[in-house]
Amino acid sequence: MTPPTSRRTVLGALLTGGALALAPGLPRSEHRPGPAHRPVRHGAVRRTGTLFLGTYTSTTPGGTGVGVAAYDTATGSLTSRTSVTGVENPSYLALHPTGSTLYAVDEQDDGGVTAVSLAEDGTFRVLGTRSTGGAGPCHLSVHPGGRWLLSANYTSGSVAVHPLAADGSVGERTDLVAHTAPAPGPGQDGPHAHQIVTAPDGGHVLAVDLGNDTVYTYRLDEDRGTLEQLSYAALRPGAGPRHLTFHPGGRHAYLACELDNTVVVCGYDPATGTLTPGTPQSTGTGEGTSYPAQLLVTGDGRFAYLANRGHNSLTRYAVEDGGAALRLLDTVPVGGDFPRHTAFSPDGTLLFAANQRSGTVTAFRVDGDTGALTPSGTPFPAPAAVCVLPL
């Protein structure tokens, strides 16, 4: 993590209008998915999508909030539309399963999570912010049932749980778990929770701690909103695990390790939530630390892509043996500086990269047969862009 120094098209009004910061006293929109979130009819061609951008607002230059852009679904070409203001350092974003609410971390010393309603008429409303109980939250995810919001506090090394109301707003925190054991290894200054995500089986929540070189497995009590630790998987000291990505088969996961410049294939047991790390392997970026950021896996489970921030590249792997192995194929220049986060378009034909230091978003076409990446269009200016969420 580098702290600041320190589905579809959103409906017409959002894409064509300016940013609106609605007063808290105004009535909230009904919690229901609008036409923009309904499946495309058979045979219909969707030509425009929406890309939300997480940014740092405290840097210079910096973002103004959550950026909103339109993209051409054939080329990935981006056009700026508006921004959601009133959210400080919204460095990571997630969408509610209904598609009607967007969530953002507020990556600050006094960390928070913010809910933004996406109304049927295309406008948005900031529903409010709740404290995560920790410092520097850098990741959040919505539990598949849509009732709980999970977040990871990087600076303070803890994870939090919040309830979600019917209108998508965030309730008071129901749990906060600090990562105190095992103790950090040599060269680490303490726990730094970097990600919290629900496993494909839906019964286990995994938290990746970069500072403890550990991935924790929890069970979420869906009645009380509390986490019970079941086990943990230790990486080699100094690995710095940053981001975990599951294979669609649900029995393997891949870890990007930031500090030792490796990728680790892990076995996963859906019955127990146990994660078993394998042997670290190359990122294809040569000697030195390239600060691997995150992996993506294609929907068919055949290819994986790793964003390398120091090397400014994307590594392509072939996924083999049912997800149990990654075979390095090549690396492709990302076309920007420090690719912090990447994401596929909903149909998997485009890959977007948020390049933090160059303040750009770059797009690639994904070949469905070979997995090859081809740059598409020109870099899109986006100051301090650190997260991309294409719908």
20 vs 249, more confident:
249
pLDDT > 50? residue 23: no
Q: Which residues pair with 104 in a beta bridge?
A: 93, 114
Q: What is the H or E stretch that residue 161 is in? A: strand 158-163
Tokens read off for 330 = 């090549």
Instruction: Return the minimum-mean-pLDDT range out of 31-35, 55-59, 206-210, 284-288.
Output: 31-35
Place of tokens 């797009």: 363
d(CA 354, CA 296): 14
Tokens read off for 228 = 């019970």
d(CA 214, CA 30): 41
Calculate Rg over the CA atoms of the chain. Answer: 19
Contact 338, 358 (CB under 8 A): yes
The whole-model pTM stands at 0.89
Residue type, 328: L
pLDDT > 80? residue 34: no
Taking the CA atoms of 191, 230, 251 and 200 in sequence, report the sign of the dihedral they define: negative
Place of tokens 């939300």: 52
pLDDT > 90? residue 190: yes
Q: Which residues pair with 55 in a beta bridge?
A: 385
Can you say whether residue 187 is alpha, beta or left, with left for phi > 0 and alpha for psi between -120 and 50 degrees?
left
379 vs 20, more confident:
379
- In this structure, what DSSP letter does residue 172 have? -
126-152 burial, b for 16+ CB within 10 Å, e for fewer? bbebbbbbbbbbbbbbbbeeebbbbbb
d(CA 198, CA 187): 29
- Cβ neighbours around 362 below 10 Å, total: 26
pLDDT > 90? residue 317: yes
d(CA 112, CA 106): 5
Residue type, 263: V
Q: Answer whether CATH 2.130.10.10 is correct for domain 179-333.
A: yes
Query: What pLDDT score was predicted for residue 185?
Result: 81
Query: What pLDDT score was predicted for residue 22?
Result: 31
Mean pLDDT of 287-310: 96
Query: What pLDDT score was predicted for residue 120?
Result: 79
141 vs 37, more confident:
141
Taking the CA atoms of 113, 118, 124 and 125 in sequence, report the sign of the dihedral they define: negative
Mean pLDDT of 378-386: 97
pLDDT digits (tens, 9 = 90+) for 147-186: 999 999 999 999 999 999 999 999 999 999 999 999 888 8
d(CA 232, CA 166): 33
Three-state DSSP state, 200: coil
Three-state DSSP state, 327: strand
Q: What is the H or E stretch that residue 219 is in? A: strand 214-221
Average pLDDT, the chain: 89
Mean pLDDT of 355-370: 98
Three-state DSSP state, 81: strand
Mean pLDDT of 110-116: 97
Query: What pLDDT score was predicted for residue 45?
Result: 66
pLDDT digits (tens, 9 = 90+) for 201-249: 999 999 999 999 999 999 999 999 999 999 999 999 999 999 999 999 9
pLDDT > 60? residue 92: yes
Mean pLDDT of 132-146: 98
Query: What pLDDT score was predicted for residue 38?
Result: 33
What residues does each domain of the chain span?
Answer: 179-333
Mean pLDDT of 339-349: 98
Let me know how many helices (H) and strands (E) the chain has, helices first: 1, 28
pLDDT confidence of 19, banded at 50, 70, 90?
very low
Three-state DSSP state, 14: helix
Contact 90, 115 (CB under 8 A): no
